[in-house]
Structure 1
């Protein structure tokens, strides 16, 4: 019996791996990813960066979490700040979910997607297909705006249809009580809720302050 292999398997089974996605774009996935990366002392990986290569999400995580955080390189770095399938098409690239595998690490790992669940990565596949292929549980980021209930419930339905585990529902910012009630009554009992306060200035200090305020999750 290889005792070392057995020990490694036990360690891997205790790893926290999360895929951070959202109900849409510009709702704070990267900020929430920074907080989760800090909280779980995790590595960070952005499989597809589409646009903003001068200040990518990986670079933001490094700035907000600290220089010691391990950032795994993107599988695709695309030039245009548009849907990944369109940016890839412009560069003559065909993205396939089989191109991806989780980075090898013994640390916890936070994976951040592009946009929401139904953002296309090709003519045939979407971010949700990438999640299904990689197979980590999901943290779904929700922000309050007109239509957020509809977008949240549609996202929940999409995850359930694929039998993808929703481990965390992240309420990012302030929510009217009734909006929060409707959203939370539609999640599974085992899904944990994380509430992130409104952040006016995104800085390393504020990320650290909010991380310390989180209850045990």
Structure 2
């Protein structure tokens, strides 16, 4: 079973919560290769708190909450993109990117470049709010242009069926379900919310990619 990569159309759209739900549902380990911003609870800490699952240490930890290449410059370092390789784990592995596909790791390399090298299936997290059709279809086109397998789209936010259907149909990808805002956000509420996610399709993508 190949690892599963979680990326999004933007930052702050619920990738980490959806990653935690996938970790919980798959009995997986979690890895955030690059963490930019250490002042607040990190994504790895959020996933650990919500799931209790094994969390692999980040390959790169940067203090400044900004694009990784800018955070690295501020720290006086350069990210070694060649060293970012998928780890071997006894469990399934969920890998969360930072921001969207075209977020730079240095002045030449984006997360999309890394995902294309890895060749693992990607779940795209998309908002249901205004503007998401454009962002989602552009992201799907970028993934396809690099031959990255796409497991499908998980939507984040309140239900907007017409928008969701447009993205799935025009993007020619499976609609894997939608996760509404969870309040409170707890392991139990996350598990209940993920009852609406098509885990059968996600497992199949991990097995056949």
Aligned residues: 200
What is the aligned partner in structure 2 of residue 42 from structure 1?
28
- Give the unaligned 5+ runs of structure 2: 201-209
Greater Rg by CA: 1
Distance 2:123 2:197 in 1: 15
After TM superposition, the score normalised by the length of structure 1 is: 0.86
Matched, 1:203 2:186: yes
User: 1:98·1:133 contact (CA, 8 Å) conserved in 2?
Assistant: no
CA spacing shift, 1:19–1:98, aligned 2, 3 Å: same
- Give the match for residue 124 of structure 2: 140
Deviation by residue 1:45-75 (Cα, 9 ceiling, x = unmatched): 0000000354111100011112xx1111100
The corresponding residue for 2:5 is: 19
Query: Is the contact made by 2:123 and 2:151 (CA closer than 8 Å) also made in structure 1?
Result: yes
**TM-score of the superposed pair, with normalisation by structure 2:** 0.89
**Equivalent-residue separation in structure 2 for 1:149 and 1:48 (angstroms):** 27
Residue by residue over 1:166-214, the C-alpha shift from the partner in whole angstroms, topping out at 9 and shown as x without a partner, is: 112101122322211211112335x352222331222222112223454
Aligned to 2:98, what secondary structure does the other structure show? strand
User: Structure 1: 5+ residue runs without aligned partners?
Assistant: 1-14
Deviation at 1:86, TM superposition (A): 0.1
Superposed, which structure 2 residues align to 1:185-200 within 5 Å?
A: 185-188=169-172, 191=174, 193-200=176-183
Secondary structure at the counterpart of residue 141 of structure 1: strand
